[in-house]
Structure 1
């Protein structure tokens, strides 16, 4: 069921491969994230990965996209895949805030999602830490998640 989505996501991510090394504010990135998800009175831990590409829009803004997969660590749950766009602004020399929106493919149904996050670059390389709140708007099952992540730009 998710194979066409995975293939599409890989094809979207392939152009990110030739980016210059050491590009810390834009370019391809990969992230490992974990946190907590809640819906319908249930709260469970969540673990996931993401890969994306960000484009600098001058000194203060960026736009990007990512593909992600997250697993709620509870029985009878599946990996949820998402395609997300990001638009952000730099709020300091190392920190950025961003809004996110896209589409999530869940076992409850497919639906749009919206989010808000913060990313902080660590040191002088491409490593960053991030936090994000995301809400998925499935008709009969709206879900929420807050995650913390660690990632790197390549």
Structure 2
């Protein structure tokens, strides 16, 4: 994970500001469920397809670890549909399937990406709600990533 953080500033300077292409991200935040709140760290890799000048469709695979005793890495497959809301900002809806130690189930979410400068680097914030076998959880994460 630290190698990705070191490589982010070295992302290609000619990458487009619009979402599109392969991307990688590190993220951290907080997750809460049933009265418990814990920090979370994770990584994601995905690919976004431009569907014109303002809309994109993409997919990602991610792994997140709730930093609490007796928790495991949760894996998720997620689809994203988004649109540009400014020259450098995009909002997106997310939905997919999460695999946890509590069981497996669908998730839904919403997020925002803001592209930095003219490189492929971006910062992102996302809210996600997971429905797993009578156990619901929420998470808010902030990430930094790059398009390649």
Q: When the two structures are superposed, what TM-score results if normalisation uses the length of structure 1?
A: 0.85
CA RMSD of aligned residues (A): 0.9
**Structure 1 residue 141: Cα displacement:** 1.2
Structure 2 distance, partners of 1:107, 1:142, is 13
Residues 48, 59 of structure 2: 8 Å contact kept: yes
CA offsets 1:105-154 (integer angstroms, 9 cap, x no match): 00000000000000000010100000000000012210000000000000
Q: How does 1:1-154 map to 2 (within 5 A)?
A: 22-24=15-17, 25-154=19-148
Bigger CA drift: 54-63 or 23-32? 23-32
SS at match of 1:92: coil
Structure 1 distance, partners of 2:32, 2:47, is 28
Query: What is the count of residue pairs matched by the alignment?
Result: 134
Residues 104, 133 of structure 2: 8 Å contact kept: no
Structure 2 distance, partners of 1:136, 1:83, is 12
Structure 2 distance, partners of 1:53, 1:23, is 14
**Gaps (5+ residues) in structure 2?**
1-13
Q: Which has the higher contact order (CA 8 A, sep 6+)?
A: 2
**Gaps (5+ residues) in structure 1?**
1-20
CA offsets 1:9-38 (integer angstroms, 9 cap, x no match): xxxxxxxxxxxx724421000000000000
